[in-house]
Amino acid sequence: MRRRQFTAALGITAFVPSLRAADTGVTDSEVVFGHTGILSGPLGNQIKTMLAGAELALSDSRNQGGIFGRSVRIVSLDDELKPDRAVANYEKLLSAERVFGFFGCVGSATTAAAAPLLQKAGAPWMAGYAVADSAREKLKGTGYFVRASSGREAQALVQHLTTIGVTKIGLAMLDNPGGREASALVESALSAHQLKPSVTVFLSGDGANVKPSAEALASAAPQAVIMYLGGALPGELMKAGWAKDFNPTYYGMSIVAGEVTVKVAGDKGRGLAISQVMPYPWSDADPTAREFRRAADAAKVPVGYYSYEGYINALVLLEALRRTGRDLTRARFASTLRSLKMRVANMDVDFSLNGLTGSRFVELVQVTQDGRFLR
């Protein structure tokens, strides 16, 4: 009896396509993506803001009936930026949560540690944040990054400084693999102009060596300092430098949180320039920015670069799902991403160029004394 029932079920499946088994993480009503990243502390607040920005676009899509009737749901887990915990989270998301792919995952060391697992799983991984270029390369074929690479940021910063006649440049980097790599990328950009850093300091994440780092910078007296620092560290370093009568121009890579820096540094923090890899969220001319701000205000999500990055990343995700079509599989979705070309918020996204990074957009903005950004 059981055998006949099983055989009958096979026959129905063969002749009724709508009953065909869906790919992992896909039902008639939703697509499930996984996320792992730091969700606690100052850095965690940035990531939660980014995810909140993504949810604005996903919610709007749901309200309009979804993509082919499917809404996008993200299952998010905290890994505290610890590689072993991130790997465990990826395993859980793949096995227990049975996600279709990954969205907005965070960190260089965590991504590098999980790369073998992710490559083997073959689940599309897109829109990562704060992932060093070397870790990106480990995901080639599976990972798709919307934001420009750190190498591209370094080139843009150095090009700007040399254009305005600044050649004596110091570096202040996080003392971790991401900071070390960022330092090497800036050094490479400088070497293209026959330049070397005047001085390089590496700051511990807990800020224990802020004062000696500021002293080393002050002794070398560069005209400008390029920072790859998170949380309150940029502001603390700037204050420590001013205490030594060291007053260079400070430039931050996009990891630097301008709003946080000015709160820590005070009025003297105005003038800090940051290389942003996402378009200006406060643009009045761009309809995407206007719609983002409307949705953010209604949902009480802070308007800024972190939330706008999440929003734009989600728009790219939704467009890729739309172009893939109703018959959604991992293989079809990955094929769509590999050839995806689109323009969003006046930013070109084209994964066909290298199959890894979609955008080369970098724009320098200045932070005002009240934490606003000016182009």
Beta bridge partners of 26: 31
- Give the number of residues written for the chain: 375
pLDDT at residue number 92:
98
| pLDDT tier, 164 (very low <50, low <70, confident <90, very high otherwise) | very high
Res 273 pLDDT > 70 = yes
| pLDDT tier, 290 (very low <50, low <70, confident <90, very high otherwise) | very high
pLDDT at residue number 306:
92
pLDDT tens for 328-360 read 999 999 999 999 999 999 999 999 999 999 999
Across the range 42-57, mean pLDDT stands at 92
Across the range 130-154, mean pLDDT stands at 95
pLDDT at residue number 20:
43
| pLDDT tier, 2 (very low <50, low <70, confident <90, very high otherwise) | very low
Work out the percent of the chain whose per-residue pLDDT is above 70: 94
pLDDT tens for 60-78 read 999 999 999 999 999 999 9
Work out the percent of the chain whose per-residue pLDDT is above 90: 83
pLDDT tens for 168-198 read 999 999 998 889 999 999 999 999 999 999 9
Identify the structural domains of the chain with CATH numbers, from first to last.
11-148+284-361 (3.40.50.2300), 150-276 (3.40.50.2300)
Res 19 pLDDT > 70 = no
Res 45 pLDDT > 90 = no
| pLDDT tier, 130 (very low <50, low <70, confident <90, very high otherwise) | confident
pLDDT tens for 204-229 read 989 999 999 999 999 999 999 999 99
Cα distance between residue 194 and residue 197, in whole Å = 11
Cα distance between residue 146 and residue 345, in whole Å = 13
Residue 68 has, within 13 A of its CA and on its CB side, a CA count of: 16
